Amino acid sequence: MIPYPIGDMLTRIRNANSRLHDGVTMPHSRLKEAVAQILLLEGYVEAYERIEGDPQPQLRIQLKYRGERNRARRAISEIHLVSKPSRRVYVGRDEIPQPLGGMGISIVSTSQGVLSGKEARARGLGGEVLCEVW
pLDDT tens digit sequence for 64-93: 999 887 788 999 999 999 999 999 999 999
Q: Are 131 and 115 in contact (CB under 8 A)?
A: no
E strand map for 28-99 = 45-51, 58-63, 65-66, 73-74, 79-81, 90-91
Mean of pLDDT values over 98-121: 97
3-state secondary structure of 54: coil
Candidate CATH numbers 3.20.20.210, 2.60.40.420, 3.30.1490.10, 1.20.120.430; the one for domain 5-133: 3.30.1490.10
Give the β-pairing of 23-27 and 58-63: antiparallel
54 compared with 15, residue with greater pLDDT: 15
Q: Global pTM? A: 0.94
pLDDT digits (tens, 9 = 90+) for 33-44: 999 999 999 999
**What is residue 69's predicted lDDT score, i.e. its pLDDT?**
72
Cis peptide before 99 (omega within 30 of 0): no
Per-residue pLDDT, averaged over 112-120, amounts to 97
